[in-house]
């Protein structure tokens, strides 16, 4: 009887050990499964993160390209604005210059008539000695001073070699004792505005006289 009880006890202990072993095995299997599931989840999360990072990188590149394009457009717009400013300033300066030239030419044309009027009294000593004539001479001098102060200078012509860039030949005459074409009479003076031609001198040109055969 006692032996049977001991046998039953041993069997129970053996069964208990097997149950414990089986439980431990099941626990380990469950732990491994859970670990695998965690690893799979982490792997999936990592892949998702990599996809998001790739999308973000692409968006950053797109934004950088947009910024670069905007900078380029801005620089072109600034350059165009500067060109417009310079062009406008130049057009304004050219307009003022043309207006000044027009005014100066009008004054020169008026002074031509003024000088012709003075010249008409060359042989009248009575008028030339009068206060009236002296007043006219003073006005003439003021005209010349005004033109000089504004950069206008007379072109040398009488006795100079004929230069078609500076002189306008009204007629040509054969003149003895000269070996080249030169100005022998000035009908209307020529003028420069600083270094720029304002008006050519209207002249009579003498040319060398042909040798008699």
Q: Where are the domains of the chain?
A: 65-150, 151-213
- What 3-state class would DSSP assign to 129? coil
**Residues 204 and 173 sit within 8 Å (Cβ to Cβ):** yes
Q: Give the phi and the psi of residue 172 in degrees, each rounded to 5.
A: -130, 140
DSSP output for 23-45: HHHHHHHHHHHHHHHHHHHHHHH
Cα 80 to Cα 1: distance, rounded to the nearest angstrom: 117
Query: Tens-digit pLDDT profile for the chain (213 aa)?
Result: 545 555 555 554 455 555 555 555 555 655 655 565 556 666 666 666 677 777 778 877 888 888 888 888 878 888 888 888 888 888 877 777 777 888 888 888 888 888 888 888 878 777 777 888 888 888 888 888 988 998 899 999 998 999 999 999 999 988 888 888 999 999 999 999 988 899 999 999 998 877 665
CB burial string 158-191: b at 16+ within 10 A, e below:
eeeebbeebbebeeeeeeeeeeebbbbebebbbb
Choose which CATH entry (3.60.20.10, 1.10.3720.10, 2.30.22.10, 2.40.10.10) describes domain 151-213.
2.30.22.10
């Amino acid at each position: 009887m006692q032996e049977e009880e001991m046998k039953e006890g041993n069997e129970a202990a053996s069964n208990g050990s097997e149950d414990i072993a089986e439980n431990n095995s099941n626990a380990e299997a469950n732990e491994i499964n859970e670990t695998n599931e965690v690893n799979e989840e982490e792997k999936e999360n990592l892949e998702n993160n990599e996809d998001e990072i790739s999308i973000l990188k692409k968006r950053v590149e797109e934004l950088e390209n947009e910024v670069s394009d905007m900078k380029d457009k801005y620089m072109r717009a600034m350059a165009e604005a500067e060109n417009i400013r310079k062009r406008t300033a130049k057009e304004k300066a050219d307009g003022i210059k043309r207006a000044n030239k027009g005014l100066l030419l009008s004054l020169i044309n008026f002074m031509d008539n003024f000088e012709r009027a003075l010249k008409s009294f060359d042989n009248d000593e009575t008028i030339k000695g009068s206060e009236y004539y002296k007043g006219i001479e003073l006005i003439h001098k003021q005209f010349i001073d005004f033109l000089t102060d504004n950069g206008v200078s007379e072109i040398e012509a009488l006795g100079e070699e004929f230069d078609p860039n500076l002189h306008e030949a009204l007629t040509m005459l054969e003149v003895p004792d000269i070996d080249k074409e030169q100005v022998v009479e000035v009908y209307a003076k020529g003028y420069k505005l600083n270094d720029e031609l304002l008006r050519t001198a209207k002249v009579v040109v003498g040319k060398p006289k042909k040798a008699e055969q």
